[in-house]
Structure 1
Amino acid sequence: MGVFDELEARGMVAQITNEEKVKKLLNEDKITFYIGFDPTADSLHVGHFVQIMVMAHMQKAGHTPIALFGGGTGMIGDPSGKSDMRKMLTKEDIDHNIACFQKQMSRLIDFSEGKAIMANNKDWLLDLNYVEFLRKVGVHFSVNRMLAAECYKQRLEKGLSFFELNYMIMQSYDFLELNERHNCVLQMGGDDQWSNIIGGVELVRRTKAKEVYGITFTLLTTSEGKKMGKTEKGAVWLDPEKTSPFEFYQYWRNVDDADVIRCMKILTFLPLSKIAEYEAFTGSGLNQAKEVLAFEVTKLIHGEEEAMKAQEAARALFGGGKNSDNMPSTEISASDLTDGSIGILDLMLKASLIPSKGEGRRLVEQGGVSVDDQKVESITHALTAADFEKGFVIIKKGKKVFHKIILQK
């Protein structure tokens, strides 16, 4: 099976500029392609995971990936799907974020000599002569067509700045530069990037009379169409300091039944024949498929050892055991206790288990909080040093969230 057929069979392909030609290129030739990553945070998140998996599939098939980091475009920020303008980042912030991205991406992509390319669009965007750029590139863009693009629709409702309007032109220029520098003939990206990708394909065609191509892949959504990768604490990050391996594992272990097989196809390298076996599972049997999904995804991002630890901790907890060694934890000290105690709502806030005391009050009143298997009956419940006799307590929120609170001596 060629790589295009593989990606399609896994349900990853969304839109293509020239399906027949692209399929032939990917299945029969060896090409250079690129995927862009704007460094808007100091870690990649689950939304980027699909893009990295596509890149890995392509590299395994012998194609050369370019990971393009937006040291230039990141100074504007992609307006796609945003109702408000993104926060402006400093050059220092952007450089730091790119370094974090490169380290995380290297777990799945081989960047050794000749295998893949890391590029940064600041190399050609930050020193552009504005008038020359308008004459060379701006002349090929219709503002009417740009404003009709899906990526600008939400921003138009609140007011789209000229600053942001430039984003599509700059991203399109990236494709032209990468084509000239590395003979890159294909841009890939999430389906929300279709308008930007088309802009680049058209720019290369108009300026070089050369055909290049674009593919978008499906966004990571639930069966109900909602974006995956969000929890009550925020995004599910690939950085273990921001989302621990245990929490990462638990996220995938707890996906809805309807999403298990799709996630397996998109986010693991398990053979499709093996996934088909799990597809036949129903009822409680799906829990085994969820365990496999959680283990495989955690192994890819955090390594097999961390995946094993997370799996063992989850099995111990949900199997009635008390192994808390690899559980997410928060340390407190005696200074956190006021008059020898700390209220349950203050403790949960400190552990980032709740976003506000109002949310904590609701959880307690609904019977959704327990400490060491004892249900918390009142929002005034407080813990003293005596409750930490063994050095820690375990707070359980709902049915699936466990957190260890350690009292430092």
Structure 2
Amino acid sequence: MDIIDDLKYRGLINQVSDEEGLREALKKPITFYCGFDPTANSLHAGNLLMIVIMMRLQKAGHHPIALVGGGTGMIGDPSGRSTERQLNTKEVVEGYAESLKNQLDRFLHFDQGNATFVNNAEWLNSLSAIEFLRDVGKYFTLNYMLSKDSVQTRLEAGISFTEFSYMLLQAYDYLNLYELKNCRMQMGGSDQWGNITAGLELIRKRGHEEQAFALTFPLITKSDGTKFGKSMGGAIWLDSEKTTPYEWYQFWYNASDDDVINFLKYFTFLSKSEIEALANEVESHPEARKAQKTLAREMTVLVHGEAALKQAEHISQALFSGDISQLNGEEIRQGFKDVPTYQASSKDSVKLIDLIVEAGIVPSKRQAREDITNGAIYVNGSRRNDLDEVLTQNDRIDNEYMVIRRGKKKYTLIQF
């Protein structure tokens, strides 16, 4: 199937300005772009959909331009927001833009000739207000701008002229890339349709004859109505320091049966036949979670690599079996990132009964004695029921960590 049919099969086309025209244009390599606003120093799971679609088009022979909005990021896009965005300083935006460039390079490989990185600060920061009003603003009526969803949804609560002008700046980005790099398609989430089509309007009104295109994909929601890309701890980031590879693996592994096949279509490069086989597994053997395991593996390799996948699977297996002692220090840091942590003294030995009281694992020595006697206390996955037990450096993992479990699920990380 061609790239449009593949995107349709995967549910990745929401709107397209001229489907037949785009199909014809895509018979030869074209240049296209997608924008990312630098609002943080890392992209997140929601942004990954845009990256993967860019990679699909790249694999089909087309030329992606990844645009980071170092200029527009100084203003803020009103799309999908109910309130004004908090503005960052120029230095913060520049730092975020550089971080995003490095992340995008891991997927699109800018130094290999087929993909290009641009920062719209290159042309927007030197654009004067008079130039902007004459060369861009005069081509748009207020009625046209007010008709866009991104503006209409903000009218009642109020929208500043700053955010109101964002649409025109994005339109200018498209015109600039069209003229300088022969970029003929802009893609983005469905909430970007108004901004993208404003670019088409500007290209047309500036007298360009070669057709340009707009393509959007649907914004992802989970079957239970919760927002995609969020967990109990907040956003799921591509940066391994913000979201560890283990957390990333678990995010995908915990996809529901109702979501997992759609996620396989959206985010992986598995073929239609491979995805359909996994859909049959969900129907016939849901308890095996084969589709979820495949999704978690594919996504972890894509974002963090093979070594990180092996580490994430090792942590998962150890936590499932309860044998914590097989983990190393780095795996402990990942697997127990969000559990309560107690900073213990570095002395060579400590009585178990004293440690679990000091760490707040039990409220009193009486309760400690009762729990140890009843076999409810585990150290690194091993049950300890000796009231006189003394823990030494031999009980520490990498001489730094000890994991104490009370009952079935209450974990505490002891750090020395």
Q: TM-score range by the shorter chain?
A: 0.7 to 0.9
Aligned-partner residue type, residue 306 of structure 1: A
**1:78 and 1:195 mapped to 2: Cα distance?**
12
Q: Does 1:270 align with 2:278?
A: no
Look up the match of 1:219: 219
Look up the match of 1:242: 242
| TM-superposition CA deviations, 1:9-30 (whole Å, max 9, x none) | 111111100011112222x111
Structure 2's unaligned 5+ residue stretches are 347-353, 363-375, 381-389
Asked whether the equivalents of residues 387 and 393 of structure 1 are also in contact (C-alpha less than 8 Å), the reply is: no
How many Å apart are 1:209 and its aligned residue?
3.5
**1:129 and 1:45 mapped to 2: Cα distance?**
33
**1:76 and 1:387 mapped to 2: Cα distance?**
57
**1:163 and 1:293 mapped to 2: Cα distance?**
41
Most deviating of 152-161 and 71-80: 152-161
Asked whether the equivalents of residues 379 and 402 of structure 2 are also in contact (C-alpha less than 8 Å), the reply is: no
Aligned-partner residue type, residue 201 of structure 1: L
How many Å apart are 1:53 and its aligned residue?
0.2
Asked whether the equivalents of residues 257 and 286 of structure 1 are also in contact (C-alpha less than 8 Å), the reply is: no
Q: 1:25 to 1:123 in 2, by over 3 A?
A: same
Structure-2-length-normalised TM-score: 0.82
Asked whether the equivalents of residues 342 and 412 of structure 2 are also in contact (C-alpha less than 8 Å), the reply is: no
Within the candidate set 383, 386, 403, 1:393 is matched to 403
Look up the match of 1:405: 413
Structure with bigger gyration radius: 2
Within the candidate set 313, 318, 327, 2:315 is matched to 313
How many Å apart are 1:163 and its aligned residue?
0.9
**2:78 and 2:183 mapped to 1: Cα distance?**
25
Pairs within 5 Å for 1:122-271: 122-210=121-209, 211-271=211-271
**1:339 and 1:261 mapped to 2: Cα distance?**
44
Q: 1:65 to 1:397 in 2, by over 3 A?
A: farther
Look up the match of 1:98: 97
Q: 1:222 to 1:373 in 2, by over 3 A?
A: farther
Asked whether the equivalents of residues 107 and 300 of structure 1 are also in contact (C-alpha less than 8 Å), the reply is: no
**2:149 and 2:323 mapped to 1: Cα distance?**
50
| TM-superposition CA deviations, 1:126-146 (whole Å, max 9, x none) | 111212211211112222232
SS at match of 2:33: strand
Look up the match of 1:42: 41
How many Å apart are 1:372 and its aligned residue?
4.8
Look up the match of 1:32: 31
Q: Does 1:341 align with 2:358?
A: yes
Asked whether the equivalents of residues 324 and 404 of structure 1 are also in contact (C-alpha less than 8 Å), the reply is: no
Q: 1:40 to 1:335 in 2, by over 3 A?
A: farther
**1:227 and 1:179 mapped to 2: Cα distance?**
34
Q: 1:372 to 1:207 in 2, by over 3 A?
A: farther
Q: Does 1:8 align with 2:16?
A: no
Look up the match of 2:53: 54
Q: 1:30 to 1:341 in 2, by over 3 A?
A: same
Q: Does 1:300 align with 2:302?
A: yes
Q: 1:272 to 1:60 in 2, by over 3 A?
A: same
Pairs within 5 Å for 1:107-122: 107-122=106-121
**1:395 and 1:250 mapped to 2: Cα distance?**
21
- Aligned CA RMSD, in angstroms, stands at 2.9
| TM-superposition CA deviations, 1:193-224 (whole Å, max 9, x none) | 11111111111011124321000012222124
Asked whether the equivalents of residues 344 and 414 of structure 2 are also in contact (C-alpha less than 8 Å), the reply is: no
Asked whether the equivalents of residues 36 and 68 of structure 2 are also in contact (C-alpha less than 8 Å), the reply is: yes
Aligned-partner residue type, residue 248 of structure 1: W
Aligned-partner residue type, residue 301 of structure 1: V
SS at match of 2:118: strand
**1:394 and 1:31 mapped to 2: Cα distance?**
57
Look up the match of 1:75: 74
Pairs within 5 Å for 1:84-95: 84-95=83-94
Identity of counterpart residues, as a percentage? 42
Pairs within 5 Å for 1:350-365: none
Structure-1-length-normalised TM-score: 0.83
Structure 1's unaligned 5+ residue stretches are 346-369, 375-384
How many Å apart are 1:341 and its aligned residue?
2.5
Aligned-partner residue type, residue 358 of structure 2: S
Aligned-partner residue type, residue 40 of structure 1: T
Aligned-partner residue type, residue 107 of structure 1: R
